[in-house]
Amino acid sequence: MATYVLIHGASSDSWFWHRVVPLLRAAGHDVVTPDLPVSDPEAGIPEYTDAAVAALGDRADADDLVVVAQSMGSFTGAALTHRVPVKLLVFLSAMAPKEGETPGQWWEATGYSQARQESDARLGLPADADVKVVFFHDVPEKIVAAAWERGEVGQSDRPFGPPPMPALPTGVPIRYLVGRDDRFFPLDFQRRTVQERLGFAPDEMEGGHLLPLAQPEAVVQRLEAYRVGAGL
């Protein structure tokens, strides 16, 4: 069994994982879902990482930690590997980090804007497509309704600035899973950036950017396969 640490992305909180958590616990795993201080104008990636370590508490020294980091959570997930003994790092629909680069620099460095414009044009999406169209297009209606009832989680600009990212850990297995129907980080863009930055092709599954909300069972199956493959 393992201790899963689930790191949410920007403008989000631990509710993002609410469909995944019971499935992992039913499989016998411990699950930690930190709430990162995304609305705090003084909190950047170091403070996000502090929050994750604090949420782990006594489990910070566990020898079975699996970190799963979604979207912008990749920067916190990568930083966390320098603070606790992570045995497996999984990036999910994520921003592939690079040593010496801040999250704010990532967008231009990866050529995101052009890739997104080309993808939107292929899909026939307007430049001002709303959040439901870009992010929630494959999420069940009742989950979308619950998200709207909870309201928007404010995101500060602070984590997009310094400090730049450290090198990814050596000796820690890294897996990368993307949705083929992701409208925010288009598939071709993900294939290219992951290959360029991490040196391997991402794994793919059906679904958009919010895979844990849209397809929790399939996500858990992938995570469990990664865990077993890592010998945990």
> What tens digit of pLDDT does each residue of 197-225 get?
999 999 999 999 999 999 999 999 999 99
**pLDDT higher than threshold 90 for residue 169:** no
User: Is the CA virtual torsion 205, 211, 214, 215 positive or negative?
Assistant: positive
Token reading at 145: 């309704």
pTM comes to: 0.97
Quote the pLDDT of residue 48.
98
Cβ proximity of 213 and 207 under 8 Å: no
128 or 114, which is more confident: 114
Pick from 158, 153, 157, 166: nearest CA to 44? 158
The token duo for 185 is: 């980080």
Q: Quick one: which H or E segment has residue 98?
A: none
> Among candidates 13, 214, 15, 10, which has minimal Cα distance to 132?
214
For residue 1, what pLDDT band results from cuts at 50, 70 and 90?
A: confident
Domain 3-229 has CATH 3.40.50.150: no
Banded model confidence at residue 139, pLDDT cuts 50, 70, 90: very high
96-122 burial by CB neighbour count: b if 16+ within 10 A, else e? Answer: bbbeeebbebbeeebebeebbeebbee
What mean pLDDT is reported for the chain?
97
d(CA 76, CA 146): 26
Q: What's the distance, Cα to Cα, between the start and end of the chain in Å?
A: 7
The share of the chain scoring above pLDDT 90, in percent, equals 97
CA distance 79 to 76: 5
Summarize pLDDT for 6-53 with one digit per residue, the tens.
999 999 999 999 999 999 999 999 999 999 999 999 999 999 999 999
pLDDT in tens, 70-105: 999 999 999 999 999 999 999 999 999 999 999 999
Considering the chain, what percentage of its residues have pLDDT values greater than 70? Answer: 100
Per-residue pLDDT, 168: 92
Q: What pLDDT sits at residue 136?
A: 98
From residue 138, alpha-carbon distances to 17, 70, 119, 228 in Å are 16, 17, 17, 28
